[in-house]
Structure 1
Amino acid sequence: MIVERLRGVDRVSVQELVEATESSDMTIRRDLDFLAAQGVLKRVHGGAVPAMASGVEPPYSLRAQAAVAAKRAIARAAVEHIHDGETIVLDSGTTALEVAKLLHDRAVTVMPLSLHVAHELADAPRIRLLMPGGEARRGELALVGPLTVASLRALRFDLAVLSPCAFSLDAGLTAFDLGDAEVKQEAMAVAARSMVLADGAKWDRAALAYVCPADYPDLIITDPTAPEDQRTLLAQRGVLVEVAALEDAS
């Protein structure tokens, strides 16, 4: 039952499994530990997430349908930190696309690192759109390679908005693709400040390519499912951590 539940969601909690099975807290934790040892899932604070191979990237179409409410809430919180007149480099992740949807009427300059984001902003009347060079990754349409890096190095931005593939206190920000990780690193290097958008399903995970330490960004915006103890630890390290309120929260 635990395995079946994890096939349809990004995270299960010990409490919900206790209620669903009418088993004890100790029994559920023991079962989760057993399944983690078999590589079926990964234990996280208060529950478990599906095991994720660090070198296998889920298709963009599937990621675009996952945690939609959380991503939209994070995007709403993110645009509150974007001011008219600013120059922004906007990442290629699905959460960054949600940010782009909210920027249509804003007077900002944006360099998109994805053709998905570029298409979203192409007809925005007040957006100044700066297109980098580079190779569009098949399926992802994220822009990578030496031309993209060169485009970034030629400019300076007020803000880099990043949406990493995975995030953890130990592994930091990570990406599945080596070229994507390089572009993310360069975006942060040429921006005065950096904002990371990571919904709770991305926490306690690691992908293949290292981007930066967990405490490097100036601001991390997440949702209420992100582990509270880790949010506290990041705040103690000097990172501003903001929890976006979901629309249906009351």
Structure 2
Amino acid sequence: MKSADRQRVIVEHLQDAGRVAVTDLVAATGASDMTVRRDLDYLAAQGVLKRVHGGAVSAMPSGLEPPFAARATAATAAKQAIAKLAAEQIRDGETVVLDSGTTALEVARLLRDRTVTVMPLSLHVAQELMGAPGIRLLMPGGEPRPGELAMVGPLTLASLRSLRFDVAVLSPCAFSLEAGMTAFDLGDAEVKQQALAVSTRSMVLVDGAKWDRAALAYICPADRPDLIITDSSAPEDDRAVLAQRGVLIQIADGRPAPQPDVQTESVS
């Protein structure tokens, strides 16, 4: 069993019981005691779990992902305002990898009348862009997750690795300074990581309700994105810290976050 598959088994056991024992994981994965302990150490470093004697306990407040339909009707005004700012950052003619989250779906609706190349990472987003006259739609391979319809798996990853994009537009499940960007599903997190790796610049859309939260699967540090678009309910102190680290913050109600006073050299 590959490491990603073993780690998925560990996370599933944590979701079910909140606590895992090394002996049980050895039986579940067929891996050695030492290999399981390495997997636990890796997941602990990502903030997914905490090591305890003989095993681990979940470090996350919840491992349950709210249904897509429920998320699509939550914080809609904030998501639409964030999506509007995001769409304004995309230039005609650019190539875009567009995430599977509900805020990314709002971006897709604003791109229908634009002239851009888009690889959607979910069937929800693909359906929204289907038939738009100026959209060149590139479909990834992979398996759609039930309900979410987000594309995951080795075929999705292979599709991303074979291309290069101007911009990745991501909308993670949760976001915090300590845990970084996180997702509920390990496969979804892996796809987001690959989208970041193949894009020249990255744009993360995260409404205030997602701040100071963490899900099970680590994506990247909080200061990895080039641009974070949020709303005014996001914690001001956290926004200031990220700005000091060089991350550009845009607020959907038009109020910019504090920016560092020091001069930084631009990279072209």
Short-chain TM bin = 0.7 to 0.9
Provide, for residues 183-205 of structure 1, a one-character-per-residue CA deviation record: whole Å limited to 9, x for no partner.
00000000000000000000000
Q: How does 1:42-121 map to 2 (within 5 A)?
A: 53-121=61-129
Q: How does 1:123-162 map to 2 (within 5 A)?
A: 123-162=131-170
Pairwise CA RMSD of aligned residues? Answer: 0.9
List alignment gaps of at least 5 residues for structure 1.
1-51
Distance 2:211 2:108 in 1: 23
Distance 1:241 1:206 in 2: 20
Percent identity (aligned): 76
Contact 1:165 1:175 in 2 (8 A): yes
- Matched to 2:185, the amino acid is D
Corresponding position: 1:219 with 2:224: no
- Matched to 1:133, the amino acid is G
Residue 123 of structure 1 deviates from its aligned partner by: 1.2
Provide, for residues 146-201 of structure 1, a one-character-per-residue CA deviation record: whole Å limited to 9, x for no partner.
00000000000000000000000000000000000000000000000000000000
Distance 1:172 1:244 in 2: 21
What's the TM-score once normalised by structure 1's chain length?
Answer: 0.77
Q: What is the DSSP-based 3-state SS (H/G/I as helix, E as strand, rest coil) of the residue aligned with 2:243?
A: helix
What's the TM-score once normalised by structure 2's chain length?
Answer: 0.72
Distance 1:212 1:54 in 2: 19
Corresponding position: 1:174 with 2:191: no
Q: Give the structure 2 partner of residue 202 of structure 1.
A: 210
- Matched to 1:70, the amino acid is A
Aligned length: 195
Residue 72 of structure 1 deviates from its aligned partner by: 0.1
Corresponding position: 1:238 with 2:231: no
List alignment gaps of at least 5 residues for structure 2.
1-59, 255-268
Select the structure with the greater relative contact order (CA < 8 A; seq sep ≥ 6): 1
Match among 201, 205, 219 for residue 193 of structure 1 = 201
Provide, for residues 17-51 of structure 1, a one-character-per-residue CA deviation record: whole Å limited to 9, x for no partner.
xxxxxxxxxxxxxxxxxxxxxxxxxxxxxxxxxxx
Distance 1:78 1:184 in 2: 17
